[in-house]
Structure 1
Amino acid sequence: MIKALIYFLVTFGGAFLAYKERALSRSGSIAAFFVGFTVLIGTGWRGFLILGVFFASSSFFSTYKKQLKKKAEEKLANTSRRNWAQVAANGGAPSVFSLAYAFTSNEIFLYAFFVSIAAAAADTWASELGILSKGKPIKITTLKKCTPGTSGAISFLGTAASAAGAALIAMCALLLFELPMPVLLMISVLGFLGSLVDTLLGAFVQVEYKCSVCGVRTEKMEHCLEQTIHESGVSWFNNEAVNISSILFVSFLCIITSQYIT
């Protein structure tokens, strides 16, 4: 009972602080509370710390050189202040896997928990830092240069940031849970792979609109105070759907792979 109360206070305090610092919207802070609480129940303070590393680093890079990102953010449906959908898309899978580990004590679910966070970190770092690349990114469907912030585009900086994000989470897991080296490599590789899958889905499946006023391609359903026109992709497959799909893909791939390396 005392432990549960401590968990409640820690997660409530963290979510409230993130809301006050404008890292989360009101709905985002509520979702973050539930994600944090379930992770604490499932994996304890060590798992919660890894989740905190992801959230803190992602929040930092979201506001890093924000003025330089303004033009690119015209394309993006989401802002640096995350709402419940963004929190759920990145934190939902870790919550489920942490609870699965708590109920089963099966380390496979613990590894999936690590991979899901590594994939979320890899994608977030790639998006937030890749957008600052001095050179224009390459759209993987056309192999042509495009404007920063375009879904399904890659850059050297973004790719390097993705690998670094996955590696950081893997190293945190190694230090806190004393994992064997093959598991460390699996988390790093699958976390990075999650970012690549995210890019592929962003290029081929994610919905994209076009502003009827200025002509910009965007993820937003409204631009220049006018409703945008559906240009490509599946209408309901937005950025959050891309995030959760790529995270679940590599997480289940982790569950399969873990049976052969542990």
Structure 2
Amino acid sequence: MKFIIAAPATLALVYRAYSKNSLTPFGIFAAALTAIAHAVHPWNLPFVLLVVFFLAGTRATHVKENIKANLTLKATGSSPSGGGEGPRTHVQVFANSLTATILTLLHAYQLHARKQALLSNASSPDNGTLCFSWKGDLLVIGIIANYACVAADTFSSELGILSKSSPRLITSWKLKKVPRGTNGGVTLVGLGAGLLGSIIIVTTSVLFLPFCTADSKTLPGGGQPWDVKERQALILGLTVSGLLGSVMDSVLGGLFQRSVKDVRSGKIVEGEGGERVLVASPVVIPGHHHKPGQEEDAGAEIKAKLLRGEGKDAVEETAGSSAVEEGDHVVDLKKRYDPKNKQRKSSFGDERPSREVVTGWDLLDNNDVNFLMAFGMSFGAMAVAGWYWGVSLWTIVPGGVAV
């Protein structure tokens, strides 16, 4: 992409993110680096897809944000702006765009090598073309698929939560109803919104792709031209790929991402920046046997290790009568629920945790799920296109030869 266009466009993108509070400071820095990497590509397509995804995703986030603010809770307990989404962090930026960035740089390198080969009157090292030909570059398919998937997922999450019907857990055999915002919860509105997001990206791609034509075939670096049916097949395949990416994200989230509900309000608690939501561990008193359903006494005498300090300076001490283990830490329940303690945790009068796990294993957070979905669907789309075209997936590697 020409510098005279990329530079002001990147600055405008950064300024909009700053003025709209769409990204954190580190998120803005990550977005700027990503934009620069996309601008290195000689085609306009990768940079345009990044901009369209950012603008469309931001717009979807702000749709009825006052309503969405009351549908879920922040991990801190307050209602968030935009249905659980505050400014996006650098981790979220990379989760959505890192795969596309790598593929973009790889394809830029391939195009540069082809151009140099043409200028030196030598054969291209990967037998490729400078325009996008039928049975052409698989890397282009991967780039478009990445943004189609993440756009579909963003639209599905931000607009699907507004559905009047309750979401259904996609990983449940009976598709049981779950609270709004539950990982793996889907609605028809959400699926329709995901389809819309995918269509926006694919339509943008068709407008900016430098398709090889009958005229370009006779030019240096020209390739096999596209006909109408072949373009229609590309559009349909990429659109379906984007929608399937949104579904895959729901499946991964429903299985491997823990959904936590606030017991008092019944709302899903969402972690800051897509991170995990902490849940208090139940109080377990060694050597104390109780009947099922009987509550434990938070003030009972137990022994536990208490870590004070940070990192290598941490010192083990013996906690008192109200210390209990919670994850990797040990806490004093008396201090936790002391009304005079401003850092106390909210709970019921019987000191039961006010949060409970609704679905999912605690293996991934939201950013992990997004990255795995984008990575998996991008390479899946390239593999399917390679099979359909009879082109080896090894052609995406620098110097790879189609077989």
Normalising to structure 1: TM-score of the pair? Answer: 0.88
Change (3 A) 1:212 1:155: closer
1:48 and 2:54 matched: no
Which residue in 2 is equivalent to 1:135?
165
Residue 257 of structure 2: SS of its match in structure 1?
coil
Query: Structure 2: which amino acid aligns with 1:79?
Result: E
> Which of 98-107 and 198-207 deviates more?
98-107
Distance across 2 between alignment mates of 1:209 and 1:234:
11
Which residue in 2 is equivalent to 1:184?
235
Which residue in 1 is equivalent to 2:15?
16
Change (3 A) 1:148 1:209: closer
Distance across 2 between alignment mates of 1:108 and 1:82:
30
Distance across 2 between alignment mates of 1:53 and 1:225:
44
Distance across 1 between alignment mates of 2:208 and 2:21:
29
Shift of 1:48: 1.2
1:154 and 2:186 matched: yes
Does the aligned pair in 2 maintain the 1:75–1:149 contact within 8 Å? no
Any stretches of 5+ residues in structure 2 without a counterpart?
112-127, 129-136, 212-230, 272-276, 280-342, 347-352, 390-403
Shift of 1:260: 3.1
Distance across 2 between alignment mates of 1:155 and 1:114:
25
Shift of 1:100: 1.1
Which residue in 1 is equivalent to 2:254?
203
Does the aligned pair in 1 maintain the 2:160–2:193 contact within 8 Å? yes
Shift of 1:170: 0.9
Does the aligned pair in 1 maintain the 2:22–2:88 contact within 8 Å? yes
Give CA deviations for 1:160-188 in whole Å, capped at 9, x if unaligned: 01111111111111111155332222211
Does the aligned pair in 2 maintain the 1:141–1:203 contact within 8 Å? yes
Distance across 2 between alignment mates of 1:63 and 1:4:
31
Which residue in 1 is equivalent to 2:366?
239
- 1:86-105 equivalent positions in 2, closer than 5 A: 86-105=92-111
Distance across 1 between alignment mates of 2:234 and 2:261:
43
Distance across 2 between alignment mates of 1:126 and 1:11:
27
1:125 and 2:155 matched: yes
Which residue in 2 is equivalent to 1:164?
196
Which residue in 1 is equivalent to 2:387?
260
More helix by share: 1
Change (3 A) 1:156 1:245: same
Query: Structure 2: which amino acid aligns with 1:137?
Result: P
Normalising to structure 2: TM-score of the pair? Answer: 0.59
> Which of 211-220 and 63-72 deviates more?
211-220
Residue 135 of structure 1: SS of its match in structure 2?
coil
Change (3 A) 1:141 1:226: farther
* Percent of aligned positions that are identical: 27
Residue 145 of structure 1: SS of its match in structure 2?
coil
Does the aligned pair in 2 maintain the 1:137–1:155 contact within 8 Å? yes
Which structure has the bigger radius of gyration?
Answer: 2
Structure 1 runs, 4 residues or longer, greater than 4 Å off: 2-6, 75-78, 210-217, 222-225, 227-230
Any stretches of 5+ residues in structure 1 without a counterpart?
none
Give CA deviations for 1:79-138 in whole Å, capped at 9, x if unaligned: 242111111111111111111111123621111000000000000000010011011111
> Which of 143-152 and 226-235 deviates more?
226-235
Which residue in 2 is equivalent to 1:194?
245
Does the aligned pair in 2 maintain the 1:69–1:131 contact within 8 Å? yes
Does the aligned pair in 2 maintain the 1:54–1:117 contact within 8 Å? yes
> Which of 112-121 and 202-211 deviates more?
202-211
> Which of 142-151 and 173-182 deviates more?
173-182
Distance across 2 between alignment mates of 1:72 and 1:162:
20
> Which of 190-199 and 36-45 deviates more?
36-45
Does the aligned pair in 2 maintain the 1:212–1:226 contact within 8 Å? no
Distance across 2 between alignment mates of 1:145 and 1:11:
43
